[in-house]
């Protein structure tokens, strides 16, 4: 009974929160575009469809065409898929490793904690992109999937650190002691006693990892280390700059991809704050 009421309360604040509404609708809009990309795109992303080369948006080519006469809209919606994929897989993997390391370090304490903390701090200092770039530079063929994996493998440290701190403070609470005394296994304690109490935290970590992975992928793509066999928003910007769209004034080529990334990542951040307000009543603006 009580639990039911609590759920409703969360739902009530979730649906009423303006920040969440705005953020979620932006994400859903772009997600819709990405999901229906094959239907919406009327041309192959790299096919040279417009023989007259670059042309501004028209009813035939909604976002215009590139220097080579490729359909920008087709590239855009298919690129969105790559963006969401990188966010979900890269961000998901980053969160997962962060959670595993954070829980283990925070719950076990002692020498395990010392070692994991040391590792976290070391990886934390190394600039993620520098590592990604040196790996990507040596890879012959790069797919979106490998990009996701590498981004996830390098993005976890701050999540691990934050989750460790939270676990650390929860570990000494009475209800955890009680669970320990009743002979529960550590793994079960972590998942049934500790994790539910920081669920909000984990959700927010995932959201931030999602956004971070998208930005990282865009950076990698832009310096020419993106997927070699796919289209992505970062690659679109790279081609646009390489083929002089700035000087030639082909604004329809470089504005949509960047605007979409900004909108998606911005919406994620805003959602994050909205969630924070839902979970933390002190922050609600009355």
Partner 1 sequence: MQRYFSRKLIIYALTFFLAVTIDWMIPRFMPGDPIRNMLTRVSVSSNPSAIQMMYDYYTHLFGLDLPLWQQYLNFWNSLLHGDIGISTYLFPTPVTDVLWRAVPYDIFLLVPAILLSWYAGNKFGAFAARSKWLDNTISPLGYILTATPYMWLGILLAWFFGIVWGIFPIAGAYSFNMQPHLSWAFIGSIFHHWFLPFASLFLVGFGGWAIGMRNMIIYELEADYSHYLEALGAPRKLIRQYAFRNGILPQITGLALQLGVIVAGALVTEVVFSYPGIGYLLLAAIQNQDYFLIQGCFLFIIIGVLLSNFIIDIVYVLVDPRTRRGMTGESA
Residues forming the site for partner 1 (CB under 8 A): 118, 121-122, 124-131, 133-135, 137-140, 158, 211, 215-216, 218-219, 222-225, 234, 237, 240-241, 246-247, 249, 251, 254-255, 257-259, 261-266, 268-270, 273, 282-283
CB closer to partner 1, 112 vs 130: 130
CB closer to partner 1, 112 vs 139: 139
Which two tokens mark 180? 């320990």
Give the side-chain half-sphere CA count within 13 A for 134. Answer: 6
Which two tokens mark 154? 């390098």
What is the chain's Cα-based Rg?
22
Closest separation in Å from C-beta 136 to partner 1 = 9
Give the side-chain half-sphere CA count within 13 A for 216. Answer: 32
- Note whether 61 and 50 are within 8 A (CB): yes
Closest separation in Å from C-beta 5 to partner 1 = 25
Closest separation in Å from C-beta 44 to partner 1 = 25
Closest separation in Å from C-beta 181 to partner 1 = 29
CB closer to partner 1, 88 vs 255: 255
- DSSP one-letter string for 84-101: HHIIIIIHHHHHHHHHHH
CB closer to partner 1, 3 vs 138: 138
Query: In angstroms, rounded to a whole number, what is the distance separating the alpha carbons of residues 189 and 4?
Result: 23
CB closer to partner 1, 189 vs 233: 233
CB closer to partner 1, 43 vs 75: 75
Query: In angstroms, rounded to a whole number, what is the distance separating the alpha carbons of residues 261 and 61?
Result: 21
CB closer to partner 1, 11 vs 248: 248
Coil, strand, or helix at residue 71?
strand
> Which residues are bridge partners to 71 per DSSP?
65
In the chain, % helix, strand, coil (3-state, to 5) comes to: 75, 0, 20
Q: In 10 A of CB 52, how many CB atoms?
A: 7
Closest separation in Å from C-beta 75 to partner 1 = 16
Write down the residue that tokens 């066999």 correspond to. 229
Closest separation in Å from C-beta 273 to partner 1 = 8
Closest separation in Å from C-beta 164 to partner 1 = 10
């Amino acid at each position: 009974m009580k639990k039911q009421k609590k759920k409703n309360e969360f739902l009530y604040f979730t649906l009423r929160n303006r920040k969440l509404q705005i953020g979620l609708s932006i994400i859903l809009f772009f997600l819709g575009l990405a999901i229906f990309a094959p239907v919406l795109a009327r041309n192959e992303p790299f096919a040279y469809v417009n023989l007259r080369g670059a042309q501004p948006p028209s009813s035939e080519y909604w976002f215009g065409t590139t220097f080579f006469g490729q359909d920008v809209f087709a590239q855009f919606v298919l690129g969105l898929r790559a963006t969401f994929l990188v966010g979900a897989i890269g961000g998901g993997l980053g969160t997962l490793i962060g959670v595993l390391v954070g829980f283990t370090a925070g719950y076990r304490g002692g020498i395990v904690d010392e070692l994991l903390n040391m590792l976290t701090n070391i990886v934390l200092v190394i600039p993620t992109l520098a590592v990604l770039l040196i790996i990507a530079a040596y890879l012959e063929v790069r797919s979106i999937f490998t990009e996701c994996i590498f981004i996830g493998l390098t993005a976890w440290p701050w999540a691990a650190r934050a989750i460790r701190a939270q676990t650390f403070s929860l570990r000494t609470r009475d209800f955890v002691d009680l669970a320990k005394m009743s002979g529960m296994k550590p793994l079960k304690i972590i998942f049934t006693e500790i994790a539910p109490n920081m669920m909000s935290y984990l959700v927010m970590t995932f959201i931030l990892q999602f956004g971070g992975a998208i930005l990282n992928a865009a950076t990698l793509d832009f310096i020419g280390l993106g997927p070699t066999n796919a289209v992505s928003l970062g690659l679109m910007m790279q081609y646009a700059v390489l083929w002089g769209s700035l000087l030639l004034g082909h604004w329809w080529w470089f504005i949509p991809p960047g605007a979409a990334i900004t909108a998606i990542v911005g919406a994620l951040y805003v959602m994050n704050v909205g969630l924070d307000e839902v979970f933390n009543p002190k922050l609600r603006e009355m």
